[in-house]
């Protein structure tokens, strides 16, 4: 008889570090960030294009907030990541663990084994930041999540279109009783008709899901990869769009990327 071997999934990471969350519902809280490599979208405004492809190595902060990074080769194992996260978890320092990227759900089999372990060792809530376009992967990790921030991609700004997947994704989160919010990046190119469609989509799932309009942060010369200009919206546009969406859902908040103002990672 041939013995069955179980292959433990591995992951390709970009970095692990401790910092202040600058976006959405958790803004201002301190999190342990786990940034996964690889993304299958190509948003025009992406400031993390370095995460799109499988990186050969990752940067791991040794002490929370000290930026004393060590470099390790990818892929990495579950036990390595558990060790790196637990050593960051000094008593009472962090509010939660952020899974970000890239697209973390491209590592769903890894997360399904990693999350229960890290949750029981740290007792920290788990927050997922996602493009919200992969509802088929979400059920694998839903039982281990506490909150989800879903980017709803507006085609006029992002160049991506995933309306059906976004709706399925939100419904799955709601059915699992997770804390959810939706983030929409807006620029001068935003089509108000798409914002109306987005607000109506969210209302169909639940009108109490907060929507965060996030004025795009213009990219630096080295971050630019697309010919499409990425310009922050005008003050009047933001007010007009918030009023438009407020007709559909209870909360529409406008918050720029505050971690950039604080010079956080
Ligand atoms: S989903 Fe996120 S990481 Fe992927 S291209 Fe869009 S902004 Fe960049």
Higher pLDDT, 262 or 97: 97
Query: pLDDT band at 43, cuts 50/70/90?
Result: very high
235 close to 5: Cβ distance less than 8 angstroms: no
Residue 18 near ligand 1, beta carbon < 6 Å = no
Please report, for residues 60, 128, 133, 150, 244, the alpha-carbon distance to residue 178 in angstroms, rounded to integers and kept in the order given. Answer: 29, 11, 17, 12, 27
Distance between Cα 131 and ligand 1 center (Å): 7
For the record, the structure tokens of 72 come out as 């390790």
Token pair 């939706």 is at which residue?
182
Which atom of ligand 1 lies at the shortest distance from residue 133's CA?
A: 1
Which atom of ligand 1 lies at the shortest distance from residue 49's CA?
A: 8
Domains of the chain: which residue ranges?
13-261
Pocket test of ligand 1: the residue of 46, 98, 230 to mutate, having most ligand atoms within 8 Å of its CB, is 46
pLDDT tens digits, residue range 112-164?
Answer: 999 999 999 999 999 999 999 999 999 999 999 999 999 999 999 999 999 99
For the segment 32-51, the average pLDDT, to the nearest whole number, is 93
Percent of the chain residues past pLDDT 90, beyond the cut: 84
Average pLDDT, the chain: 94
Geometric angle at alpha carbon 206, from 204 and 208, rounded to 5°: 140
16: CB partners within 8 A, 6+ apart: 32, 33, 34, 35, 58, 59, 60, 61, 81, 84, 85, 88
pLDDT value for 2: 58
Distance between Cα 25 and ligand 1 center (Å): 19
What is the value of pTM for the model shown?
A: 0.94
For the record, the structure tokens of 192 come out as 């108000």
pLDDT value for 6: 73
Asked whether residue 199 carries a pLDDT value surpassing 90, the answer given is: yes
pLDDT value for 187: 95
pLDDT value for 221: 67
Distance between Cα 208 and ligand 1 center (Å): 26
Which atom of ligand 1 lies at the shortest distance from residue 42's CA?
A: 5
Distance between Cα 1 and ligand 1 center (Å): 47
CATH superfamily of 13-261: Aldolase class I (3.20.20.70)
Query: pLDDT band at 265, cuts 50/70/90?
Result: confident
Query: pLDDT band at 5, cuts 50/70/90?
Result: low
């Amino acid at each position: 008889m041939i013995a069955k071997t179980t292959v433990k999934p591995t992951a390709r990471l970009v970095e692990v570090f401790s910092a202040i969350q600058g976006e959405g519902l958790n803004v201002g809280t301190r999190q342990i960030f786990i940034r996964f490599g690889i993304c299958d979208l190509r948003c025009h405004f992406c400031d993390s294009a370095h995460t799109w492809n499988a990186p050969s190595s990752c940067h791991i902060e040794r002490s929370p907030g000290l930026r004393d990074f060590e470099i390790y080769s990818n892929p990495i194992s579950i036990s390595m990541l558990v060790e790196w996260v637990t050593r960051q978890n000094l008593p009472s320092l962090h509010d939660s663990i952020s899974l970000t990227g890239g697209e973390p759900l491209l590592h769903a089999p890894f997360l399904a084994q990693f999350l229960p372990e890290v949750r029981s060792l740290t007792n920290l809530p788990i927050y997922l930041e996602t493009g919200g376009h992969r509802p088929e992967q979400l059920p694998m990790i839903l039982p281990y999540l506490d909150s989800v921030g879903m980017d709803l991609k507006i085609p006029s700004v992002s160049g991506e279109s995933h309306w059906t997947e976004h709706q399925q994704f939100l419904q799955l989160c709601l059915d699992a009783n997770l804390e959810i919010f939706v983030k929409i990046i807006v620029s001068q190119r935003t089509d108000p008709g798409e914002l109306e469609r987005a607000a109506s989509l969210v209302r169909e799932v639940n009108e109490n899901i907060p929507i965060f309009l996030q004025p795009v942060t213009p990219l630096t010369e080295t971050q630019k990869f697309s010919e499409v200009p990425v310009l922050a919206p005008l003050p009047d546009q933001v007010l007009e769009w918030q009023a438009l969406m407020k007709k559909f859902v209870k909360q529409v908040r406008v918050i720029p990327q505050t971690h950039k103002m604080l010079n956080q990672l």
